[in-house]
Amino acid sequence: MSDVAVDCAGVWKFYGDYPALRDISFQVQAGSCLALIGRNGAGKTTLLRILAGFSKPGKGRAHILGSSPRETEARSRLGFIGHGIALYDELSAWENLTLFGRLYNLPDPRRSAMEWLERAGLERVRDGLVREFSRGMRQRLAVARAFLHGPSVLLLDEPFTALDDRAIAVLQQLLREALAEGRTIILSTHQLREALELATRVVLLSRGKLLFQGERTQEMAEDPGLIYARYGES
Amino acid sequence: MTTTATTREVSPGSSGHSAVRPRGVAGSARQALVIAAKDLRAELRTKEAINASLAFAVVILLLFSFAFDEDLLRKMSGGLLWIVFAFAGTLVLNRSFARELPNDCLDALIAAPISAPALFLGKALGNFLLVMAVELVSLPVYGIFYNVRWTTQFWPLMGVLALGTWGLTVIGTVFSALTVNIRLREVMLPLLVYPMMIPGLMAAMKLTTELVAGQPLEGDVLIWLKLLIGFDVIFTALSVALVETVLVG
């Protein structure tokens, strides 16, 4: 049995004639954490959106746990945090989590929602509308939504951006626990230090091309700028 | 290294509860109802679309009642009613997928293990109930302003309203998904929906004119009923078949 959780083979993506991704190939082993790094416009978000099944590659294929990201089986085991919090402002925190619990066919959506509200430190405001929440509270609720169904693969697009200290601490702790439990994580970020603390592998993208992929070394963790200096385009 | 088998059997533990695969048609139907309930709850809290749609319907009914003489109004009352419903309905339908844009909620729905047809049917059901509510409130207003005894054939009229409204909401919902990322979607949606609706609207108008005149649905009129049912079946099937492509490309 293969132990590849995410398989990206020869992926191209075009916006009109412009190739946003050019022949991207890499694999992520189950239970590992991949840091997807690159400057603005490198193609990180485009790649994550293909892996999450929001768009299809122009050429090549992306597989999550052996199947297309659009397969129900893959989606039920995928968690995603994107640029938006993906929560409804006009619903309460409790209603939002219960809604997604039902969509993910959890055995007991109400209990799962309550547990995650407690873990996110939001149980006291469970009936408050999301539109009334502070930014930090919204972000913590977004993290709870992504982890609610116990996904095997987590795709995180700039997860640390705009988080307050408490939310960063909650997220880092959850990611460590997820790795310890054998879940697979791909996170794109500009915040190299936080990412390289968790990552076991690194992929560097630049203008849609894969410039480097390999193990995260201690040297990289100690000096995050080293990757750009050694492998990045000037 | 952790094997795939281990990862696939990640225990719920304290980090969440593993999703259970949805089971067949019943699972999809349940998810569609969850989507419809979510949309209705959100709309009833904000009342963005329903207030605008209802106000628009009442104002247009009032203005039309001044524009034509009584004999002409009786002949074209079914048509007028459906023009008002179609215009007011697009105000509801415009919000259908636009409601998912703030906070990138549409991404979360697309990422969830809900089939695109179930998502679409849930949205369509929510829209159907909202548009029907607008229509049911508008009918007494219509009866008063146009001096029409619309309750004479009450249940057949309700049936025709439901069939016509389903056709409108199915087409409107799929085009709402198609135009959700277009800046001028409020303009584009009616431009796309109304031409597609012509056969369905023609049938609904003809049937409604007969019913509000107190005539039962029989004889040659039944062909319009068959057309309306066929229209609904064909466009529902087409929309269900195409919605995955519309949402993901």
Q: Work out the mean pLDDT of chain B and round it to a whole number.
A: 88
pLDDT of B21 reads: 56
Interchain CB distance below 8 Å, B19 and A83: no
Of B1, B14, B104, the CB nearest to A86: B104
Chain B touched by A201 (CB under 8 Å)? no
Give the model confidence (pLDDT) of A207-232 as tens digits.
Answer: 999 999 988 888 888 887 888 888 77
Say which residue the tokens 């009229």 belong to.
Answer: B157
Q: Can you tell me the distance from the alpha carbon of B249 to that of B238, in angstroms, rounded to the nearest whole number?
A: 16
pLDDT of A135 reads: 84
Give A205's strand partners: A210
Give the model confidence (pLDDT) of A141-185 as tens digits.
Answer: 998 999 999 999 999 998 887 777 777 777 888 899 999 999 999
Say if residue A201's pLDDT is above 90: yes
Kindly indicate the confidence band of residue B1, based on its pLDDT and cuts at 50, 70 and 90. very low
Instruction: Show the tokens assigned to B58.
Output: 């009442």
Instruction: Show the tokens assigned to B50.
Output: 């329903």
Q: Can you tell me the distance from the alpha carbon of A33 to that of A198, in angstroms, rounded to the nearest whole number?
A: 7
Between residues 89 and 108 of chain A, which touch chain B (CB distance below 8 Å)? 89-91, 95, 99-108
Chain B touched by A114 (CB under 8 Å)? no
Give the DSSP H or E segment for A106.
none
Search chain A and give the residue with CA nearest B1.
A31
Say if residue A131's pLDDT is above 90: yes
Of B5, B14, B112, the CB nearest to A1: B5
Q: Residue A111: list chain B partners with CB under 8 A.
A: 17
Q: Residue B115: list chain A partners with CB under 8 A.
A: 72
Q: Can you tell me the distance from the alpha carbon of A55 to that of B98, in angstroms, rounded to the nearest whole number?
A: 19
Q: Residue A80: list chain B partners with CB under 8 A.
A: 107-108, 111
pLDDT of B6 reads: 33
Interchain CB distance below 8 Å, A182 and B7: yes
Mapped onto helix, strand or coil, the DSSP state of residue B3 is coil
Give the model confidence (pLDDT) of B59-102 as tens digits.
Answer: 999 998 888 887 787 778 889 999 999 999 999 999 999 999 99
Strands A201-206, A33-37: pairing is parallel
Read off the amino acid at residue B152. T
Give the model confidence (pLDDT) of B203-241 as tens digits.
Answer: 999 999 999 989 999 989 999 999 999 999 999 999 999
Q: Residue B103: list chain A partners with CB under 8 A.
A: 84-89
Domains of chain A: 1-77+153-159+183-234 (3.40.50.300)
Enter the pTM of the model. 0.88
* All residues at 6 or more sequence positions from B5 whose CB lies less than 8 Å from its CB, including other chains: A1
Mean pLDDT of A4-16: 94
Give A37's strand partners: A189, A204
Of B13, B111, B249, the CB nearest to A80: B111
Interchain CB distance below 8 Å, B7 and A103: no
Q: Can you tell me the distance from the alpha carbon of A199 to that of A219, in angstroms, rounded to the nearest whole number?
A: 13
CB pairs < 8 Å spanning A and B: 174
Distance from CA of B205 to the nearest CA of A (A): 37
Say which residue the tokens 């609610």 belong to.
Answer: A148
Instruction: Show the tokens assigned to B139.
Output: 């009918």
Interchain CB distance below 8 Å, A181 and B11: yes
Interchain CB distance below 8 Å, A80 and B108: yes
Instruction: Show the tokens assigned to B6.
Output: 């281990």
Dihedral sign for Cα A71, A77, A83, A89, please: positive
Q: Residue B108: list chain A partners with CB under 8 A.
A: 80, 86-87, 100, 145
Mean pLDDT of B27-40: 95
pLDDT of B20 reads: 59
pLDDT of B8 reads: 35
Instruction: Show the tokens assigned to B93.
Output: 């339908």
> Which of A123-137, A152-166, B17-31 ranks highest by mean pLDDT?
A123-137
Work out the percent of chain A whose per-residue pLDDT is above 70: 98
